[in-house]
């Protein structure tokens, strides 16, 4: 898709919208006397954050080999999903396409914006049927396709992502919340090739910073400009920006986190093989397992009794529970309980 055609996908009122611009956004200085924004002169966190997140984008540009002008920082990926829908989908008129099953928040934010949600049912291996996709993509109301890979809650990566980008007339959002746990390449390398591509990543999973609520959208400069126009001026707080900058400076933090989780994932998978109440452990490229249980009601209730919280996916995915990888003590408690249930 050519860059010039992106505007044809954008809501007309958004094209005409003038962004809120803080005076400080375009002035590279820290004035000793700041009397422009009605802030309190007292307090430990009394100044508004940098609305353009310049330092954070600069550091991410080094890490990801992507220009700062090709990234938007969000208050978690959820905010970015919401903004993308608001930019491209006319309420009561346009629709989104999403895999089924997949991350529920795509449909949630579409519903808030009064957009129809078209669900593309995955096959028995949780893959997308290409013919079914091509047929669904003919719907002229579709503006966005949310493609989650590795997919939540199934755990598998989607094959041939480029095919879906090439054959969708609207915006394709590849959500890579779990990409660090997979051996697959990131779709970031496709950004220069496809102007209709948006890649979402997050600090909530592999980086271990879910509480900071920081997500990143990578896309063409034109799309990023639209996101920055629509987003709230100070959407990512000072503490989160400073915290993320700090962990980005920590040598090998990401690698250490991922290595530990993958080791625990492998240990859990081995333990699952000998547990009788487990009927199937689905292949995963994420930090969680989708598991089909024998007598899922009983297993789930017993885990709750022992204060082990998991994510029940039944009846949407019959008989299944999603269980994420914990630390060794948490994982051992889980395995001990499942072994007890299986006796």
Q: What is the pLDDT of residue 342?
A: 87
Same domain, 150 and 57: yes
Average pLDDT estimate for 151-161: 98
Compare 21 and 302 and report the one with higher pLDDT: 302
Same domain, 68 and 203: yes
233 assigned to some structural domain: yes
Q: What is the pLDDT of residue 266?
A: 98
Q: Of the candidates 249, 281, 316, which is a domain's last residue? A: 249
Same domain, 156 and 271: no
2 assigned to some structural domain: no
**How many angstroms separate the CA atoms of 77 and 90, rounded?**
21
Determine the structural domain holding residue 330 and report its residue range. Answer: 253-342
Same domain, 295 and 218: no
105 assigned to some structural domain: yes
Task: Report the 10 Å Cβ neighbour count for 183.
Answer: 6
**How many angstroms separate the CA atoms of 137 and 229, rounded?**
28
Q: What is the pLDDT of residue 15?
A: 92
Q: What angle do CA 327, 330, 331 make, to 5 degrees?
A: 80
Q: What percent of the chain has pLDDT over 90?
A: 92
Q: Which residues make beta-bridge pairs with 117?
A: 96
pLDDT above 70 for 4: no
Average pLDDT estimate for 146-158: 98
Q: What is the pLDDT of residue 1?
A: 55
The number of distinct structural domains making up the chain is 2
Q: What is the pLDDT of residue 3?
A: 45
Q: What is the pLDDT of residue 57?
A: 98
The answer to whether 103 and 82 have CB atoms below 8 angstroms apart is: no
Which range among 5-14, 19-28, 36-45, 238-247 has the greatest average pLDDT?
A: 238-247
Q: Of the candidates 201, 218, 249, which is a domain's last residue? A: 249
Q: Which of 21-30, 37-46, 179-188 has the lowest mean pLDDT?
A: 21-30
Average pLDDT estimate for 94-98: 98
276: domain CATH number is 3.90.1150.10
Q: What is the pLDDT of residue 343?
A: 76
37: domain CATH number is 3.40.640.10
Q: What is the pLDDT of residue 33?
A: 86
Compare 332 and 18 and report the one with higher pLDDT: 332
Average pLDDT estimate for 170-199: 97
The answer to whether 221 and 70 have CB atoms below 8 angstroms apart is: yes
90 assigned to some structural domain: yes
130 assigned to some structural domain: yes
pLDDT digits (tens, 9 = 90+) for 231-262: 999 999 999 999 999 999 998 999 999 999 99
What is the bridge-based pairing of β-strands 95-100 and 142-148?
A: parallel
Confidence band (pLDDT; 50, 70, 90) for 317? very high
Burial class of 86 by CB neighbour count within 10 A (0 to 12, 13 to 18, 19+): buried
Average pLDDT estimate for 301-309: 97
pLDDT digits (tens, 9 = 90+) for 16-33: 998 887 777 766 666 778
pLDDT above 70 for 54: yes
Per the rule left: phi > 0, alpha: psi between -120 and 50, beta: everything else, 271 is alpha
Q: What is the pLDDT of residue 36?
A: 85
Q: What is the pLDDT of residue 2?
A: 46
Average pLDDT estimate for 175-191: 97
Average pLDDT estimate for 281-296: 97
Same domain, 327 and 227: no
pLDDT digits (tens, 9 = 90+) for 100-136: 999 999 999 999 999 999 999 999 999 999 999 999 9
Q: Two tokens at 145? A: 């396709």
Q: What is the pLDDT of residue 333?
A: 98
Q: What is the pLDDT of residue 56?
A: 98
- The DSSP letter of residue 32 is S
Count of CA atoms in the C-beta half-sphere (13 A) of 226: 27
Q: What is the pLDDT of residue 20?
A: 83
Same domain, 181 and 115: yes
Same domain, 262 and 242: no
Question: pTM of the full predicted structure?
Answer: 0.95
Burial class of 192 by CB neighbour count within 10 A (0 to 12, 13 to 18, 19+): exposed
Q: Of the candidates 202, 234, 249, which is a domain's last residue? A: 249
């Amino acid at each position: 898709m050519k860059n010039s055609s992106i505007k044809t996908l954008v809501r007309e009122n958004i094209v005409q919208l003038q962004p809120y611009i803080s005076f400080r956004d375009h002035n590279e200085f820290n004035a000793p006397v700041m009397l422009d924004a009605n802030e309190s002169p007292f307090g430990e966190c009394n100044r508004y954050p940098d609305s353009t997140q310049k330092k954070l984008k600069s550091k991410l540009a080094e890490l990801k080999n992507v220009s700062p002008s090709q990234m938007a920082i969000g208050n978690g990926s959820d905010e970015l999903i919401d903004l993308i829908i608001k930019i491209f989908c006319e309420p009561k008129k346009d629709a989104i396409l999403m895999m089924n099953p997949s991350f529920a928040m795509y449909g949630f934010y579409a519903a808030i914006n009064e957009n129809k949600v078209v669900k593309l049912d995955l096959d028995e291996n949780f893959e997308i049927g290409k013919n079914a996709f091509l047929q669904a993509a003919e719907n002229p109301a579709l503006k966005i396709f949310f493609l989650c890979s590795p997919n939540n809650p199934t755990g598998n990566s989607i094959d041939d992502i480029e095919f879906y980008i090439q054959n969708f007339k609207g915006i394709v959002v590849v959500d890579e919340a779990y990409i660090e746990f997979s051996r697959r390449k990131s779709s970031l390398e496709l950004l220069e090739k496809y102007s209709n591509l948006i890649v979402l990543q997050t600090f909530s999973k592999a980086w271990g910073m879910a509480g900071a609520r920081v997500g990143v959208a990578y896309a063409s400069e034109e799309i990023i400009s639209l996101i920055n126009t629509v987003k709230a001026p100070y959407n990512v707080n000072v503490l989160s920006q400073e915290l993320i900058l700090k962990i980005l400076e920590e040598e090998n933090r990401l690698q250490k986190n991922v290595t530990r989780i993958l080791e625990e994932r492998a240990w859990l998978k081995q333990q699952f093989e000998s547990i009788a109440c487990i009927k199937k452990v689905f292949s995963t490229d994420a930090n969680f397992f989708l598991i089909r249980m024998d007598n899922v009601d009983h297993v789930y209730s017993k885990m709750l009794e022992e204060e082990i919280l998991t994510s029940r996916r039944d009846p949407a995915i019959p008989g299944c529970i999603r269980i994420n990888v914990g630390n060794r003590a948490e994982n051992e408690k889980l395995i001990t309980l499942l072994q007890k249930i299986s006796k």
